[in-house]
Structure 1
Amino acid sequence: MQALAMLDAILEEEWQYRYYSFNANWGENAQMGSMRNGSGDDFFTLFDDAGCFLKGFDHESTMSPYRETPLRTWPGVLDDVPVQFESALKEPAFSMQNTTFCIWRRAGDFTWSHGDIDYPEGEDDPDGSLWMLSALDGGPETYQSFAEDYHELEVEAGAVARVFAHEPLSAELLAAFPTSRSLRDVVLDAREIGYPVGP
């Protein structure tokens, strides 16, 4: 999430037009990453001492809370969230009423978990998690393809890989991207994101 936010910051000057963002100082011992596509879909990730909590919302999903009046989250999606993540469930910024999927991984866990859910039949991605989380596969080519589509810029997969590896930000690294942003301005974003900055 940090790398994706850093890549978007390099390519897009205006924060409100960025797809991915990350705040390394979200709270005491807490960091937060998010994705917003501007069309009503988003996901939020909370990293704290309890582990990692991630919730997402696909507004066109079959499992959307808006399928009923009053709103109702699909059974099982939030029912089994561990008590350690209670603060995340109450976080206003996460808009928990808008949730189609939720996963978590407690500190010390070896795998990710989700609730006991009876998914709709006949759909490959009923909650939107498949397409929304696909960028987290760690593949530079995945972001390269995204940048060409969303930012309409040609980005080298090798340059993306350097950011995925958390190579410290420098003028030389910035020059590997099709951006007009100054190093000084990108450094300010990097500090908020928690991305390393070179000397």
Structure 2
Amino acid sequence: MITAHETAALLPDPERLRAHLRALAVLDATIGDDPRFCQYTFDAAWGPGVEAALMDNGSGDDYAVLFTSAGVLIRGFDHESRMSPYGTDDEQLWPGLVDDVPTALRPLLDEPAFHDEGVDVLRATVCLWRETGDTAWRTGSALAFPAGSEDPDGSGFLFRLLTDRSPEAVQAHFEDYYERPVPLDAVRHVLAGHPLTPAITATLNPPVEQVGRDGG
């Protein structure tokens, strides 16, 4: 079973996580032809003193990683998870999901973007955090996960490119999503934090050759 507890052990420190998320956003924006269909974005001015890395797969699943001076908060939502508040009669969060979130990070849970219109509940099935100065990622200590699922809170599905940050995993994801080859060397270049040069851009998103340009 993969849960937030296993995910917490596989996440890198906040600075490396931030760099990786920025790289995913750069890759998505460069490989794709239309920003409306990018799954990964990074907003360095998302709010006062808050940077946000966002993922939305367009199918009802999303997450946000919020970077602040007080620490980092990760909120994720898997719409098929049995831990979804929409799976309960009274639309309540799963017991223990956010009870242990530190005081300094709790205001981030009130962000309107994480609450669906007309529903007074956080859209979340998984929550992790790491306060500044802490040495490990945390999640609810009293969480009890529903039986019968290998990924009950959706963390394995949502954060697969955060726990497996290899160029090969990232390449496979974007090749599957955009349904075309993505050069591994270019993926490695961006993940390593190197500048996005015109040559790398052209490699990741080659110009479409004009059909019939020679009269064929």
TM-score class, shorter-chain normalisation, is: 0.7 to 0.9
SS in 1 for 2:105: helix
Aligned to 2:89: 69
- The residue type equivalent to 1:174 in the other structure is T
Equivalent position to 1:143, from 170, 173, 177? 170
Please state how far the C-alpha of 1:109 moved relative to its aligned partner: 1.0
Cα deviation per residue 1:36-82 (whole Å; 9 max; x = unaligned)?
01110000110010111000000001111111122111101111111
User: Residues 1-199 of structure 1 correspond to what in structure 2 (within 5 A)?
Assistant: 1-95=21-115, 97-115=122-140, 116-136=142-162, 137-180=164-207
Matches of 2:23 and 2:143, distance apart in 1 = 31
What is the root-mean-square deviation in Å for CA atoms of aligned residues?
A: 1.5
SS in 1 for 2:156: helix
Aligned to 2:213: none
- The residue type equivalent to 1:45 in the other structure is V
Identity %: 42
SS in 2 for 1:83: coil
Matches of 2:103 and 2:189, distance apart in 1 = 37
Unpaired stretches in structure 1, ≥5 consecutive residues: 182-199
Aligned to 1:192: none
The number of residue pairs the alignment matches comes to 181
SS in 1 for 2:96: coil
Unpaired stretches in structure 2, ≥5 consecutive residues: 1-20, 116-120, 209-216
Matches of 2:70 and 2:33, distance apart in 1 = 33
SS in 1 for 2:33: coil
Please state how far the C-alpha of 1:147 moved relative to its aligned partner: 1.1
Q: 1:128 to 1:164 in 2, by over 3 A?
A: same
CA contact (8 A) 1:64 1:100 kept: yes
- Normalising by structure 2, what TM-score? 0.79
Matches of 1:171 and 1:106, distance apart in 2 = 38
